[in-house]
Amino acid sequence: MDRRNARTATRVRAALSAAAVLAVVTSGGARATAQAATPGPAAAVPVSASAPDATSWTTRNVAPGVQVRSATMDNARAEPVWTVTVQAPATGRLSGSAAWAAVGPKPWADATARQLRADGFEPRAETVRWPDYTDTPQGVMGLRMRIGRYATQSDARTVAQAVTAAGFHTAVDWTGYDAEQPADRENVHVAVIDPRRFAGTVEGTHDGNVAQRVTTSSVAAEMGSLVGVNAGFFVTSDADGVQGTQSGLSADHGELESMAAGARAALIIGDGGRHVRVADLTTTVTVRAGSKSYRAQGINRVPGSVRDCGRPGGTPSELPWQDVTCHAADDLVLFTPEFGAALPIGAGAQVVVDADGRVVSAGSRGGTVPAHGSVLQGIGAAADWLTANARTGQRIGVREDIRDTAGRRVELGRNDSIVSAAPTLVSRGRISIDAAAEGVVDPQDLSFGYAWANVRQPRTMAGVDARGRLILATVDGRQTGGSEGFTLYEAASFMRSLGAVEALNLDGGGSTAMAVDGVLVNNPSDATGERAVGGTIQVLPGRAG
């Protein structure tokens, strides 16, 4: 079986296994809290030699209308090994700095192979194809140069040291993470919430403070949540802003708490989960003082630092870029009462606004946000505008506008929330991954986003099916000899096989977590255990009476 057929077989395997989940979920009916899964009709469909040898599903009916199913999909025919990858030199398109890529062009591969053989090594060239994204090239991406197949990571590292000493740049890789061959194991958890039967609510939440990091399971336990998963991307380093703050659009209890990075995918949770949809959203915030107005480009973030970019005036790009911090010399940022940390300090101007929208103080940056007010901070031209127009006693107006890419406005009520990440996975019932537009890969720079998108990773996904049911799913990853995760395309295939007509990728990697009844049920890949995150989605029981 060639690698393209192997990849197709993997997708078929995930689709058929997931279809068995959907067959049971759609059947409804009261069942035991935990039980072995009964194969659905899809189990009778013939599968390829790469199908899992053992798939064990368990079911938990957590509440009427809330079901969680978990599975381990094993494939004994997969033969992952440790190997040494010789990386190709590249130039970061945004930074202009030297970088390294796992894939390179054929002339580089040919020259590198000759040099490796001359140094006594036996390289092999592997063809890597572009995944079926909607906005990237099709066909061959490039060649991946590798040496050896080893039973242990230690053996591969020994060879890598010798290759590095010969003048090459190397990485030690587990081939089970490659999209070109089947994974040997994948641990998945799927929660389906049916708003027609579920009496509780669903909300995206920061647990009252957008400027903190807490674990998904601790929030779930505190709130008495039935199911909780991690949500959107967030700041993880002091160098990039205030840790825990979102690096994309979020809204909590109908209040906008951070702005969109370009027009990235968002999960709109309307009316406490009664109406859920996925859409690419943009945000505009206009601050007005008298007859003068100024566009704010941030909510609850450090002025001048834009994690994941995607805001006008940002450099080196105004487009969204995953895990890149852009900067702005002129920047106006609004802080809401949910910003529970000390306000950023530094050059610029600040005004404090009360609940009636009047400026109660103006001066240097710092302090805290009043409980029922807000704060505006500006640097550069935005600071000059604040100083000139936002005087004590002056009334300040703030207009927030959220729209989808068709220009339709999204109105937020008290029971509405939004979480966002990237990219879109499924649209109108079809796999539709806009990886380049949402800034997670760059066709012109193979050193950017390759491992993030095209290599198996832990993932958290969310979607909605044709019956309006919310689907929350996780796959564990980065566990050699254990669960290996999904590529973005595999994540999209999995969500579509569950019946999702719309779906998006949420934050993943070490952030991936699912809690059921306040207890973590997956196996996070973060070295410290369950990672503290910036936001979560929680499925909350109805209140008595």
Q: What pLDDT, on a 0 to 100 scale, did the predictor assign at position 77?
A: 86
In which residue are the tokens 């009778």 written?
44
Q: Which of 489, 531, 521, 538 is nearest to 234 (CA)?
A: 531
Paired tokens of 408: 């339709």
Q: How far is CA 465 from the centre of its chain?
A: 20
The predicted-structure confidence for 494-514, as pLDDT tens digits, reads as follows 999 999 999 999 999 999 999
What SS3 state is found at 20?
helix
Q: What pLDDT, on a 0 to 100 scale, did the predictor assign at position 527?
A: 83
Say which residues have a Cβ less than 8 Å from residue 545's Cβ, sequence separation at least 6. none
Percent of the residues in the chain that have a pLDDT greater than 90, as a whole number: 86
| Bridge partner list, 299 | 334
Q: What pLDDT, on a 0 to 100 scale, did the predictor assign at position 53?
A: 56
Q: What is the mean pLDDT of each run of 10 residues along the chain (545 residues)?
A: 41 44 40 33 29 74 98 90 98 95 98 98 98 97 98 98 98 96 94 98 96 98 98 98 98 98 98 98 97 98 98 97 98 98 98 97 97 97 97 96 96 97 98 98 97 98 98 95 94 97 98 98 92 98 70
Q: Which of 325, 359, 348, 322 is nearest to 452 (CA)?
A: 322
Q: What pLDDT, on a 0 to 100 scale, did the predictor assign at position 261?
A: 98
pTM for the whole structure: 0.92
Contact status, residue 420 vs residue 259, Cβ threshold 8 Å: no
Contact status, residue 469 vs residue 193, Cβ threshold 8 Å: yes
Paired tokens of 137: 């090239």
